[in-house]
Structure formats: structure tokens, C-alpha cells
Amino acid sequence: MSQETSVVELDSPTIQTSVDDENSSEKQMSKRQKKKMLKMQQWEIKKKEKRLKEKEKLKQRKLEAIAAGLPTRNGPSRKELKRNKIDYSKSDISVVVDLSFDNMMIDKDVAKCVKQLLRIYTMNRRSERPIPLHFTGIREGGSVEMHLKRNDGYQHWDVKFSNDSFANLFDRDKLVYLSSESDNVLTALEKDHVYVIGGLVDHNQHKGHCYELASRLGIKHARLPLSEHIVIKTRTILTINQVFEILMKIQLGKQWQETLLEVLPMRKGAKPKESNECSEQQSLVDEMQHNGQQSQLVK
């Protein structure tokens, strides 16, 4: 009887159909897709193992600190950080990260973009004055959303997520899109204004895209005052989290030069611009303006 039963189960049309479906789906996948899927599965396993190891290390360090009579932590606890909520009604400025560019990035760069978002969120919640954060333009089913979902509980971050464009969510007169191509220099953060950072990791392949977008939408744009305060010989392409950190420090009352030197990595070789260099630059600007006025008088 048992043999007959097993034969009937194997010949069952439902089971045979499901097996055929699995085989056909595997055949439809290219070698590259199979390799990518396998790599993703291995990465997820390694991620879980890494988290377990980190938890064990933290536990061991805590036990060692208790045994030595030392404090068990240097900074605020997670519970304390969770209570550090943003008061949107009392904040001077807001920051938006425009995430509408996932179709312009390869998957590797989208992963980098989301990693930078995580750094922004962590940095902001540890700040003594957290800034209202908005992540906008997240396409449903898009690669940004897919990578965000890999961070367990990201929906509970103290961040306002939106699928809509930032241009539809805020008063356009208060928006300032940050772009290195802009001719306008950001000298101070204006109260009640919303500063937009382009969430585009493209290694300068789409140079000027954010500037063009702001111009097309009729939104104010500005660049950070890098050349006005520091001397740097390498490319001055900043990451999303570096731009946010600069805004955060300026909001806390730090000076531009001090902030830029703190945030820019050492490998960039940034040096403070001497006061005489600044004055020479200003004199050149004044001279150009003066010559312009004279030419107008001649006309």
C-alpha cells in the first residue's frame, strides 16, 4: 500500500506542475542573474553572522568593563537616543534628500546611497539639535526602496518618508537645492528654509543634473562655500552624508572653515585658506565690479 501511495503522489498533476514551474523559472534566469541571486543570499547569511559576532563582542566588552569597574558605555543608550525625537515645530531648518534618481544609478551605487542615508539618520539622532529629515521621491518597488527594506525597522526611523516629489511637499519659495554647479554661494542657513540634497551617487557621470532640475522647477539653488574657505587640490565631490554633516554643524553654530576641515576626509588634503588669500579674492571681485560700473558710465 505504501508503494502505491508514493506512486500516486509522484504522479499527482499539482506536484508535477509546481516542479515544472520551478524548472522553467530557473531556465529563464541567466547565469548572471543566478550568480547575483546566490551572491545576495550569501551576503544575507554573512550579515546575520556578522551581527551575532558584534553582539557577542559588545557583551564581552560590557562584562570586562563591569569587572574592571569602568562605565559600560561612552555615549547615550539606545533608549535615550529613541527619546531624542525631532521637534518639527521648533527647528530652524529642514533637510530633504531627493531620492528620485534610482533609475540613473547601478545597483551598487544605490546600495551606497542607502548606506549614506543610514549614516545621516544615525548622525542626526545623536545630535543635540536634530534636524527635521525628509526622504522623498522613493519609487514604489524601486531599487532605493528595496535596499531600504534590508534595514530592519527602517519604517520606524525618525524620518518622514514620501513617494512624492519634494517640489509638491514644500513651499517652493523656501526650497534651496544644493548643487556644486550653482553660481550662488551659501553663506548662511536661512530660518524656515528647506535644503535639498540630491541622492545621486553616480561618480560625476550625470554632472549638473541636480542644478538643471532645480532650474527647471524654478527653485533656488546654491553651492557650499568650499573655495571661499579652503584650498583643495583634489575633486570636491562630497557624499550625501558629508553635505548633511556640514549643514548640521553650521546649524549648531560652527564656522564654515572649521566645519569643512572637520568633515572633509584627510585624503582630500584640504587646507585653510589664508586671510590674505580671501582678501585678494575679494579685491579681485571688487575690481571686476568697479570696472563693470565704469564701463556702464562710459556707455
Q: Give the domain ranges of the chain.
A: 91-224
What is d(CA 284, CA 282) in angstroms, rounded to the nearest whole number?
5
pLDDT digits (tens, 9 = 90+) for 90-124: 778 999 999 999 889 999 999 999 999 999 999 99
Q: What's the pTM value of the predicted model, to 2 decimals?
A: 0.67
Q: What is the CA radius of gyration of the chain?
A: 26
Q: At 234, is the secondary structure helix, strand, or coil?
A: coil
Q: Which residues are annotated as catalytic?
A: 202
Each residue's pLDDT tens digit, 205-225: 778 899 999 999 999 999 999
User: According to the model, what pLDDT value does residue 6 have?
Assistant: 44
Distance (Å, whole) CA 95 – CA 246: 12
Contact by Cβ (8 Å): 213, 177: yes
Which DSSP state fits 225? -
Residue range 91-224, CATH number: 3.40.1280.30
| Of the candidates 162, 232, 150, 233, the residue with the CA atom closest to the CA atom of residue 196 | 162
Contact 244, 195 (CB under 8 A): no
Cα 285 to Cα 271: distance, rounded to the nearest angstrom: 22
Q: What is the pLDDT of residues 247-262, one digit of tens each?
A: 999 999 999 999 999 9
Instruction: Tell me the C-alpha distance between 228 and 186, whole Å.
Output: 10
Residue 231 near residue 271 (C-beta atoms within 8 A): yes
Torsion of CA 48, 49, 50, 52, to 10 degrees: 90
pLDDT of residue 269: 73
Nearest Cα neighbor of 147 from 121, 115, 103, 120 is 115
Give the model's confidence band at 166: pLDDT under 50 very low, under 70 low, under 90 confident, else very high: very high
Give percent of the chain above pLDDT 90: 45
* Per-residue b or e along 165-201, where b marks 16 or more CB atoms closer than 10 Å to that residue's CB: ebbeebeeebbbbbbbebeeebeeeeeebbbbbbbbb
SS3 assignment, position 240: helix
Helix, strand or coil, per DSSP, at residue 154 = helix
Q: What is the Cα–Cα distance from 195 to 189, expressed in whole angstroms? A: 9
> Does residue 252 contact residue 131 with C-beta atoms inside 8 Å?
no
In the structure grid, which three cell numbers stand for residue 32, read together?
Answer: 548572471
3-class secondary-structure state, position 111: helix
Highest mean pLDDT: which range of 31-40, 59-68, 238-247, 277-286: 238-247
Given a cut of 70, is residue 51 above it in pLDDT? yes
